């Protein structure tokens, strides 16, 4: 039980991933699709942050998650790998840019067609 709860951040990742993917692909409202997409991307950032915790992957017996600045340090010491954090920072910028382009398109689609419903818009194509 403790083992399952101990991985709460990974459970969060899986649940958010599923909700986000469902939202992005199945919602009919274009704005809800963008919200779903954002949740989907955020879930992946949560995974990146989770794997930055070195203790989790020591079981593989790899040098995984060894921070370059601490290369020669002892491995029992529990620290957090900075690289995934940097990746997430870049990822957030990319996600924000995607969201901005998507919302700009939504505004123009609404001005052009007066609806954001995917089914109604499909007939326009």
Partner 1 sequence: MIEHLPVLAVAVSLLGSFTVVLTSLYTRKAGYPLSLSITFIQLVMAVVILMNINSGGAISYWLGGWRPPWGIEYRVDILGAYVLVIVTIFSFLATVYARKTVEKEIDPEKQPYFYTLWLLLVSGMAGVAVTGDLFNLFVFLEIASLATYALIAMAGKRALIASFNYLVLGAVGISFYLLGTAFLYAATGTLNMLDARALLTLIYDSRIVQLSFVFYFIGLAMKMALFPFHVWQPNAYEHSPSAVTVIISTALAKVNAYALFRLIFSVYTVKFFQNYGTIFELTAIVASAGIIAGSVLAIMERSLKKMLAYSSVANVGYIVLAFTLGKWGIYAAAAHLLNHSLMKAALFMVAGGFIYRLGVRRIDELEGLGRAMPLSSAAFAMAAVSMIGIPPSAGFVTKLFILLASLDTGRFVFIAVMIASSLLSLVYFWRVIEILYMKGHRERMDELPASMLYPALIMGVLSILAGILWFFSIDILDEIVIALGVV
Please provide the DSSP assignment of the chain as one string. Answer: -HHHHHTHHHHHHHHHHHHHHHHHHH-SBHHHHHHHHHHHHHHHHHHHHHHTBGGGGGGGTS-TT--GGGTTS-SSS--B-HHHHHHHHHHHHHHHHHHHHHHHHHHHHHHHHS--BHHHHHTT-
* Under rule CB under 8 A, residue 119 binds partner 1: no
**Stretch 45-104 residues interacting with partner 1 (CB under 8 A):** 47-48, 51, 57, 60, 62-66, 68, 81, 83-84, 87, 90-91, 94, 97-98, 101-102
* Under rule CB under 8 A, residue 109 binds partner 1: yes
CB 56 within 8 A of CB 99: no
Among 9, 19, 21, 58, binds partner 1 (CB under 8 A): 21
Cα distance between residue 28 and residue 24, in whole Å: 9
Distance in Å, CB of 11 to partner 1, minimum: 16
Decide whether 15 or 101 has the Cβ nearer to partner 1.
101
Under the rule (CB under 8 A), what is the footprint of partner 1?
Answer: 17, 21, 24-25, 30, 33-34, 37, 40-41, 44, 47-48, 51, 57, 60, 62-66, 68, 81, 83-84, 87, 90-91, 94, 97-98, 101-102, 105-106, 108-109, 112-113, 121, 124-125
């Amino acid at each position: 039980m403790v083992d399952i709860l101990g991985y709460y951040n990974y459970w969060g990742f899986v649940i958010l991933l599923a909700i986000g993917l469902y939202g992005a692909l199945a919602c009919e409202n274009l704005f809800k699709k963008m919200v779903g997409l954002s949740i989907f991307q955020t879930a992946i950032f949560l995974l990146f942050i989770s794997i930055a915790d070195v203790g989790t992957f020591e079981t593989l017996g790899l040098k995984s998650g060894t921070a370059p600045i601490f290369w020669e340090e002892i491995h029992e010491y529990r620290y957090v790998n900075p690289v995934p954090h940097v990746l997430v920072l870049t990822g957030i910028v990319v996600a924000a840019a995607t969201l901005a382009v998507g919302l700009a398109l939504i505004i123009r689609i609404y001005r052009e067609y007066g609806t954001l419903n995917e089914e109604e818009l499909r007939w326009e194509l």
